[in-house]
């Protein structure tokens, strides 16, 4: 069906969101609205079964449009929150129409001709006002974004020689249907009737309520490394330009709605005191240090939910390593928690667009106005 008002002045220089009805797409729309982008300049694009419906945008709504050859006419920016196949097929069309594409899928992340960007870490790989070489910028995997943002202050101050990481990943990483499934399986486990008629359909290989299991991505039969773990390794190395950095991950799915937790042991290139490590993290961009040993208060996914910043804490030297004569350690342990849908996906894409200058900084609502809590069980 034709897209209404495509040639009107209000639609010029629009922002297209592909996959607008999914979990990341809805988060993108919320962030754009909070930053003051007028709804007349937003083009919400989704699959055929959503075309013609309305989706919330700020205090109002926008109409959902289909993805076709004219989807990106007049758009200065296209943010893809769809699957890799859709991105491979349609991102070049958006670029040909004049848009800068920021892609949240895995389609272009390891392409040597496409920048892979976390603004707090490697924004210098992009030049403001200059179109990326192929018109596309890749958004990293959510787990990678949280990891490199949390460790970037330590990398800059002391260098990083190795990383051991265990992740405890929210179901939102598997999409909106996975969030529904966690709520449904929790209701069933508690003896509460499910609200879905198709509640028997499983996104995950086993129930996620009151359960923990190895990440549901495919496992390489030769190496035993699953897809999520391989992404963390390859993407971190690309972002930091450290092709031989040792990264040893184990990725686990946990019954949390939308914020990932990462237990990290990092080996620094240069030893450091706790005072210096703590000071580096406290000054880190996009981070909030939450570390109160007396009150046993450290980062949690519940407190990270809806926040822009990544929470870091539970900082301590590796108890298995003896300090040097100056009381310094190379190996440090910490927790990091970040909202998978927000900084792990949608917010990072918006920050990239702002850094490129294709999305003006039109003002941001105070964080207290944009936080939201998990849906009740």
Please give the positions annotated as active site. 142, 260
- Half-sphere exposure at residue 51, Cβ-oriented, CA atoms within 13 angstroms: 12
C-alpha–C-alpha distance, residues 244 and 207, integer Å: 37
> How many Å apart are CA 110 and CA 100, to the nearest integer?
18
For 278, counting Cβ atoms within 10 Å of its Cβ (0-12 exposed, 13-18 middle, 19+ buried), the class is: middle
- Phi-psi label, residue 364: left if phi above 0, alpha if psi -120 to 50, beta otherwise: beta
Rounded distance between C-alpha atoms, residue 257 and residue 358, angstroms: 31
d(C-alpha 369, C-alpha 35), whole Å = 12
Using CA atoms, how far apart are residues 356 and 367, in angstroms rounded to an integer?
23
Query: CA nearest 140: which of 347, 377, 373?
Result: 347
Give the count of beta carbons closer than 10 Å to the beta carbon of residue 249. Answer: 24
3 state DSSP class of 31: helix
Q: Where are the alpha helices (DSSP H) in the chain?
A: 23-34, 84-96, 119-122, 142-158, 176-189, 227-240, 274-282, 301-304, 347-356, 367-370
Calculate ∠ Cα 11-17-23, nearest 5°. Answer: 145
Q: What's the CA gap between 81 and 104, in Å, rounded?
A: 5
Q: Report the alpha-carbon distance of residue 266 to residue 117 in Å, rounded.
A: 21
């Amino acid at each position: 069906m034709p897209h209404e008002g495509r040639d009107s002045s209000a639609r010029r220089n629009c922002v297209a969101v592909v996959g607008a009805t999914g979990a990341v797409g809805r988060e993108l729309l919320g962030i754009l609205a909070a930053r003051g982008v007028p709804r007349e300049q937003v083009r919400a694009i989704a699959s055929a079964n959503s075309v013609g419906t309305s989706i919330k945008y700020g205090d109002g709504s926008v109409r959902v449009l289909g993805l076709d050859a004219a989807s990106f006419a007049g758009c200065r920016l296209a943010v893809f929150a769809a699957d890799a196949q859709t991105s491979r097929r349609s991102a070049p069309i958006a670029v040909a129409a004049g848009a800068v594409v920021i892609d949240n899928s895995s389609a272009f992340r390891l392409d040597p001709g496409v920048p892979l960007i976390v603004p707090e870490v490697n924004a210098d790989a992009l030049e403001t006002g200059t179109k990326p070489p192929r018109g596309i910028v890749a958004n990293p995997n959510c787990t990678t974004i949280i990891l490199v943002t949390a460790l970037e202050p330590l990398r800059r101050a002391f260098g990083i020689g190795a990383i051991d990481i265990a992740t405890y990943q929210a179901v939102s990483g598997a999409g909106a249907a996975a969030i529904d499934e966690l709520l449904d399986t929790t209701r069933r486990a508690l003896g509460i009737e499910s609200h879905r008629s198709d509640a028997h359909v499983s996104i995950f290989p086993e129930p996620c309520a009151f359960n923990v299991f190895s990440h549901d991505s495919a496992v390489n039969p030769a190496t035993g490394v699953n897809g999520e773990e391989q992404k963390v390794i390859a993407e971190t190395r690309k972002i930091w330009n450290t092709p031989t950095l040792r990264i040893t991950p184990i990725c686990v799915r946990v019954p949390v709605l939308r914020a990932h937790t990462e237990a990290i042991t990092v080996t620094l290139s240069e030893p450091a005191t706790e005072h210096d490590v703590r000071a580096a993290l406290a000054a880190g961009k996009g981070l909030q240090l939450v570390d109160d040993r007396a009150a046993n208060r450290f980062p949690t996914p519940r407190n990270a939910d809806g926040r822009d910043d990544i929470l870091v804490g539970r900082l301590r030297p590796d108890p298995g390593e003896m300090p040097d004569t100056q009381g310094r350690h190379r190996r440090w342990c910490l927790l990091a928690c970040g909202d998978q849908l927000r900084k792990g996906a949608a917010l990072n894409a918006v920050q990239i667009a702002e850094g490129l200058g294709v999305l003006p900084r039109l003002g941001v609502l105070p964080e207290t106005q944009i936080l939201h809590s998990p849906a009740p069980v």
